[in-house]
Amino acid sequence: MKALPYIAFLLLFLSSCQPAQQHNEQKGIIRLAMDPAHLPPIAKLSEIAKSIRIVPLETNPGCLIGSTSHLYVGRNSILISTSGGENNLMHFTSEGKFLNKIGSVGKGPGEYSDVNDMSVFENPLKVLIYPSSRHKILDYSFNGKLNREITRWKGLDDPKALNDNQIGSISFKDYEFVIINSLTSDTIKYIKVTPATISGIRSLGGNSATGFYYTAIGRDTIWQFIGNSMQPKIICDFGTGHYSSQDYMKSVLGGQEFQPGKISIAAGNVFQGSGYYHIYLMRENSNKQYLYAHVLIEEKTNKSWHFAEGPESDDILFCTSTDFRTVASSGEWVSVVGARELIEALPKIKANKNFRYPPEFIAQIEKMTVDDNPVIVFYTLK
């Protein structure tokens, strides 16, 4: 969550809750009973991570990275979009060697001025870029060649390429979620808006590797795209005192503040990998402070972990917290940290007696300089 626009979106969009016991009355649905007044003790990274490795990204004048926005880690490639200066999309090997930029920054055909989001496929290798500044979806090969431009439909937002021909998107008209065949423009519509459920902030997140998930402020249900339909995947029971869709529409969008003590489900960075689901949540407490948290849900054991966002929850790197950015094709969970942060944390890392680091891990950090590019961190969960 390094990119400022994405952080701003999440601040308006997310809320926090307590994961507790899950009940699977309906096959395939995860049910979370939550008590917003009594959050569980903060878990640590070392409680769930059994191993760690890092991949420093090559630093040279042609691939300098400041702030990072979107990240994809595949079998042989790392794609990372930058923000804050030139908003490039960089292509690295899985070992961190720079290969090429994908596309070019500009306002001409096949060019973009920002990477608002992207969808990545490995068979065949291609990436679809969704610039917020253009009404086009740009389809590139990994070598940077433009394959085609796809016109974005009016009244739709937050597009995601679900497969080679289908694009899912959020509709702000008659339906909340639509799927469009990018070749024929045929549209299939799901989850119709009703006065009782309409919400001003909706999102379609995920990717082809981790699955696609639909969420909205004021909703207790996280929907997953399965086959040709959207089906409920995670249902949260808040009891009383939580925001409904109407509450949210009347509050923030109506120019009012959140009401203290009320919470609502909203999921940023919902993804699945290696038998776990991840949800990024936020709530406002009675002191009008926003509390951020991550929830990991293990599918087999029904166990959930709650992690506050901040250094207090980090006892492995002491600088990344639990800011999981994605799940790699290898099944490892991934975050991004600055080289400077790792260098400054090295004394604490060396003194840590609760976690065993590979010798090459320490050696990699000792070779870094503060001007190096960001470092990709890989966690294998227990």
Amino acid symbol at 327? V
Which stretch of 5-14, 61-70, 294-303 has the lowest confidence by average pLDDT?
5-14
Q: How confident is the model at residue 368 (pLDDT cuts 50, 70, 90)?
A: very high
The pLDDT value recorded for residue 70 is: 86
Q: 66-70, 186-190, 365-369: which has the highest mean pLDDT?
A: 365-369
Q: How confident is the model at residue 57 (pLDDT cuts 50, 70, 90)?
A: very high
Contact status, residue 170 vs residue 156, Cβ threshold 8 Å: yes
| Mean pLDDT value across residues 63-73 | 87
Q: How confident is the model at residue 362 (pLDDT cuts 50, 70, 90)?
A: very high
User: What residue segments make up the domains of the chain, in order of their start?
Assistant: 4-381
Q: How confident is the model at residue 360 (pLDDT cuts 50, 70, 90)?
A: very high
Which residues, 6+ apart, have CB-to-CB distance to 145 below 8 Å? none
| Helix H or strand E encompassing 327 | strand 326-327
The pLDDT value recorded for residue 9 is: 33
Q: How confident is the model at residue 264 (pLDDT cuts 50, 70, 90)?
A: low
Question: What does the buried/exposed string (b/e) look like for 220-248 if buried means 16 or more CB atoms within 10 Å of the residue's CB?
Answer: bbbbbbeeeebebbbbbebeeebbbbebb
Q: For 368, how many CA atoms within 13 A lie in the half-sphere containing its CB?
A: 27
100-110 tens-digit pLDDT: 999 888 888 88
153-170 tens-digit pLDDT: 777 778 888 887 888 888
Q: How confident is the model at residue 3 (pLDDT cuts 50, 70, 90)?
A: very low
- Of 122 and 248, the structure prediction assigns the larger pLDDT to 122
172-202 tens-digit pLDDT: 776 778 888 877 777 777 777 666 666 667 7
- Determine whether domain 4-381 maps to CATH 2.130.10: yes
- Of 373 and 306, the structure prediction assigns the larger pLDDT to 373
Say if strands 136-141 and 187-192 run parallel, antiparallel, or are unpaired: unpaired
The pLDDT value recorded for residue 193 is: 64
In order of 270, 332, 378, the CA distances from 320 in angstroms are 19, 16, 12
The pLDDT value recorded for residue 19 is: 35
165 is written with which tokens? 């021909």
In this structure, what DSSP letter does residue 152 have? P
Q: How confident is the model at residue 97 (pLDDT cuts 50, 70, 90)?
A: very high
CB atoms within 10 A of CB 33: 16
Q: How confident is the model at residue 34 (pLDDT cuts 50, 70, 90)?
A: low
Contact status, residue 258 vs residue 284, Cβ threshold 8 Å: yes
| Structure-token match 């049910």, residue found | 31
Q: Tell which residue, 169, 132, 134, has the closest CA to residue 6.
A: 132
Query: Sign of the CA dihedral 7, 9, 12, 17?
Result: negative
| Mean pLDDT value across residues 274-281 | 83
